């Protein structure tokens, strides 16, 4: 039996799963009907195949979403602690963003030219994140992909270093794991036709000797990292890790790229600004425009000049960077409203208080059931993990994942009007979340664990 299940009555848990699945089917006839229609023309029956990875027997169809809540087509209302896995971190349809895109809707969407929002957005990004030069993309995947291309060109080096278990969207270069200590192309990656390990180096997070040894070869253009690993379950940097890691990276002439797409939960300037890190480049994706598809990436003065030099010194033609819709007028309007009016210090302080209450409550519930689990929090982002203490690297985080147990808990909560993130056990709060929502989540979580004891 999985160590993650210590303290649980697994036959009872499996019976609970069957009961909750039957309850979901009975409660959601409209979603079932729409899922049947979708199966006629959508691959895998959903707009994106991973929408089947939720705990539900068939996809739940959303009819509307606002603030911390959404409603499904069967009329059920949910408190949303997933929030689009950070895409709606500041709530669904924030009023300032909704008003901005409504104004823009009659003024054009895209023109392949700057809009009047471009300069103010760039200035605010520079103020907030401390990097002076910025560019735009449609997703963090694109932004990370573009940054890697720019930095390889700027440094003349071809390799990238990532951490085992990392996630940076659909960037090909990052799908390399350590398997029994050996860098291995992730076997779930479809259609890959060249060996990623030729140009990607992977080490464990929090392992300074491994980082030093990898960088000492002198062929790595940049280290691409989340400051806190989030997608395999949260993995926090150990005390002093990033201070030492940054010294090592600089010493060996590599650059540091910080992906704040999830860790923007740490504060208005992200984790790096909150903790005094000095990255050479920074990426933020899905939450930056309030849920509208867009992303940003910024460079230091020194790196920006090298990037410009690389472009100006290259032959004319397509650089492989940018798409036609990047920095479109619609996205720029959304980003400006979100940055100036939604992602405020006051909003963060409210979210931090709620997240602290949530994290403390989860710890109390887990302790009350005498389960060997822990709770980790990064600003507005909280996660419970199936281990006595938080994992220190991606390998440890992978070992404690238990998809079957996760799905039982997730479906139990969903059937009681509470949504948390699939794939692992992450919960977000937004400015519209309130104390009663947190209390309701904790009560349902307590009852769920009680049924599996």
**Per-residue pLDDT at 1 exceeds 60:** no
For 394-412, the pLDDT digits (tens) are 999 999 999 999 999 999 9
What's the average model confidence in pLDDT over 97-109?
A: 97
What's the average model confidence in pLDDT over 240-255?
A: 98
Residue 2 has a pLDDT of: 74
Residue 3 has a pLDDT of: 76
Confidence of residue 91 (pLDDT cuts 50, 70, 90): very high
What's the average model confidence in pLDDT over 195-214?
A: 98
Tokens of 75: 């009329």
Residue 7 has a pLDDT of: 95
For 317-371, the pLDDT digits (tens) are 999 999 999 999 999 999 999 999 999 999 999 999 999 999 999 999 999 999 9
Residue 423 has a pLDDT of: 84
Residue 359 has a pLDDT of: 98
What's the average model confidence in pLDDT over 244-265?
A: 98
Q: What percent of the chain shows pLDDT beyond 70?
A: 100
Mean pLDDT over the full length of the chain:
97
What's the average model confidence in pLDDT over 5-16?
A: 97
Q: What percent of the chain shows pLDDT beyond 90?
A: 99
For 371-381, the pLDDT digits (tens) are 999 999 999 99
């Amino acid at each position: 039996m999985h160590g993650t299940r210590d303290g649980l009555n697994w036959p009872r848990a499996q019976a609970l799963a069957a009961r909750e699945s039957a309850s979901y089917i009975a409660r959601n006839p409209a979603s079932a009907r729409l899922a049947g229609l979708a199966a006629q023309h959508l691959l895998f029956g959903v707009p994106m195949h991973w929408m089947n990875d939720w705990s539900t027997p068939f996809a739940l169809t959303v009819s509307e979403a606002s603030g911390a809540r959404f409603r499904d087509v069967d009329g059920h209302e949910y408190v949303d602690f997933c929030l689009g896995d950070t895409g709606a971190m500041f709530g669904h349809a924030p009023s300032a963003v909704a008003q901005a895109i409504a104004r823009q809707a009659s003024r054009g969407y895209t023109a392949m030219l700057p809009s009047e929002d471009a300069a103010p957005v760039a200035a605010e990004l520079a103020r907030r994140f401390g990097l002076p030069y910025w560019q735009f993309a449609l997703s963090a995947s694109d932004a990370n992909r573009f940054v890697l291309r720019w930095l390889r060109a700027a440094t003349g080096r071809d390799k990238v270093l990532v951490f085992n278990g990392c996630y940076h969207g659909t960037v090909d270069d990052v799908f390399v794991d350590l398997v029994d200590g050996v860098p291995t192309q992730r076997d779930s990656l479809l259609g890959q036709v060249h060996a990623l390990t030729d140009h990607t180096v992977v080490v464990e997070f929090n392992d300074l000797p491994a980082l030093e040894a990898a960088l000492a070869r002198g062929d790595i253009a940049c280290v691409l990292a989340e400051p806190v690993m989030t997608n395999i379950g949260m993995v926090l940097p150990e005390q002093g890790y990033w201070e030492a890691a940054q010294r090592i990276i600089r010493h060996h002439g590599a650059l540091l790229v910080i992906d704040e797409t999830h860790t923007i939960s740490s504060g208005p300037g992200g984790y790096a600004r909150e903790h005094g890190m000095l990255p050479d480049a920074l990426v933020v994706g899905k939450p930056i425009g309030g849920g509208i598809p867009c992303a940003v990436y910024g460079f230091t003065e020194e790196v920006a000049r090298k990037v410009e030099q690389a472009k100006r010194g290259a032959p004319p033609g397509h650089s492989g960077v940018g798409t036609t819709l990047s920095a479109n007028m619609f996205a720029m309007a959304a980003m400006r409203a979100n940055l100036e009016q939604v992602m405020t210090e006051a909003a963060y302080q409210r979210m931090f208080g709620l997240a602290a209450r949530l994290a403390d409550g989860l710890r109390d519930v887990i302790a009350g059931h005498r389960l060997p689990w822990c709770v980790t929090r990064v600003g507005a982002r909280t996660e419970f993990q199936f281990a006595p203490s938080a994992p220190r690297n991606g390998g440890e985080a992978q070992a404690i994942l238990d998809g079957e147990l996760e799905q039982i808990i997730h479906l139990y909560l969903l059937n009681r009007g509470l949504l948390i993130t699939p794939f692992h056990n992450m919960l977000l709060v937004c400015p519209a979340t309130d104390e009663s929502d947190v209390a309701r989540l904790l009560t349902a979580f307590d009852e769920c664990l009680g049924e599996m004891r």
